[in-house]
Structure 1
Amino acid sequence: MSDGLTRGEIPRAALALGLAGLIPFAAGALSLWLPLGPLTPDHGLKLAISYGAIILSFLGGIRWGTAIGPYDAGRQSREFAASVLGSLAGLAAIFLPSVPALTLLVAGFLMQALWDVTSVEAGRLPSWFGKLRMLLTAGAVVSLIAALVAVVVT
């Protein structure tokens, strides 16, 4: 009997929690375009940037955990060092004006997704993880770009 993971299916809990994690991205961006009651555009922008920073840091934590794997010392050091770049980018985004902050977050999410997908292709992460990361990255990036466009046109 197969559990589905051998076929590369995304575990239900990971998919459900990941999709739920897109709600703050969408709400933040949407609040810049439409009235959302108590979520003012100013708060929505803060939500998009701060949540983006938190999630980018979370993704770096995942990669820190994978760096514990069976790597030689040099490779492990590079993996550890690269895993903190998302956290640093997220921290910087919190202190930048909104346009560069959102741009930095979009770039950070795209770079993280590229790293995750290439790691899946190299066999260092399960295939379902690459699928999940592409789906969630698309949701986060579309939301951040929507927020960026709203900031630029208003």
Structure 2
Amino acid sequence: MSNVSSAKRIPAAAMALGLGGLVPFAAGAAALWLPLPWLTPDAGLRLIVVYGAIILSFLGGIRWGVALGPYDTARQSRDFAASVLGALAGLAAVFLPPVPALALLIAGFLSQALWDVTSAEAGRLPGWFGRLRMLLTSGAVIAQIAALVAIILG
């Protein structure tokens, strides 16, 4: 596993696509604070919640793939089960009122980031992946918090 943990540079494609993936979060949050001709506040909120659910599912898929590694059955079972929690949280968020939906998404993103960073530090994922996940999680969670504050103050 030393080759996995020794990778230091975030691949350019991963960085570019990851940062591009923050655009829907930023646009959704902006729509709650600014009058945007192309995105109403209601649509911005839906964008943040639904896109957040999709991304949590995507992150769970990454973890499902990692669980395929050379691990014992008990660990695989635990990791397979944990990998679907983000998708379930995202699905629940889509059907909740805005404040609990955003709170659930924020908790889901922070939990997933913690798991990803600790896995990268333990050598189960490339070292760069933990750094990328912290960067992208920060962007997503900042947008979700901005949306949450806008709704609470609104």
| SS of equivalent residue, structure 1 residue 39 | coil
Q: Cα offset for 1:121?
A: 1.0
Q: 1:86 maps to which residue?
A: 86
CA spacing shift, 1:127–1:65, aligned 2, 3 Å: same
What TM-score results when the alignment is normalised by the length of structure 2? 0.95
Alignment deviations for residues 26-67 of structure 1 (CA, whole Å, 9 cap, x no partner): 000010000111200000000000000000110000000000
Amino acid at match of 2:27: A
| SS of equivalent residue, structure 2 residue 112 | helix
Hey, what's the Cα distance between the residues in 2 that align with 1:9 and 1:148? 34
CA spacing shift, 1:108–1:6, aligned 2, 3 Å: same
Hey, what's the Cα distance between the residues in 2 that align with 1:37 and 1:115? 39
The answer as to whether partners of 2:116 and 2:130 remain within 8 angstroms in 1 is yes
Hey, what's the Cα distance between the residues in 2 that align with 1:145 and 1:125? 28
The answer as to whether partners of 2:60 and 2:86 remain within 8 angstroms in 1 is yes
Q: C-alpha root-mean-square deviation of aligned residues, in Å?
A: 1.0
Hey, what's the Cα distance between the residues in 2 that align with 1:43 and 1:108? 22
What TM-score results when the alignment is normalised by the length of structure 1? 0.95
Hey, what's the Cα distance between the residues in 2 that align with 1:7 and 1:121? 11
Hey, what's the Cα distance between the residues in 1 that align with 2:7 and 2:23? 28
Amino acid at match of 1:17: L
Q: 2:15 maps to which residue?
A: 15
Q: Structure 2: state its 5+ residue gaps.
A: none
> Matched residues, percent identical?
73
Q: 2:57 maps to which residue?
A: 57
Hey, what's the Cα distance between the residues in 1 that align with 2:105 and 2:122? 26
Hey, what's the Cα distance between the residues in 2 that align with 1:36 and 1:137? 25
Q: Cα offset for 1:7?
A: 5.2
After TM superposition, where is structure 1 displaced by more than 3 Å over at least 4 residues in a row? none
Q: 2:111 maps to which residue?
A: 111
Hey, what's the Cα distance between the residues in 1 that align with 2:96 and 2:26? 21
Number of residue pairs aligned between Structure 1 and Structure 2? 150
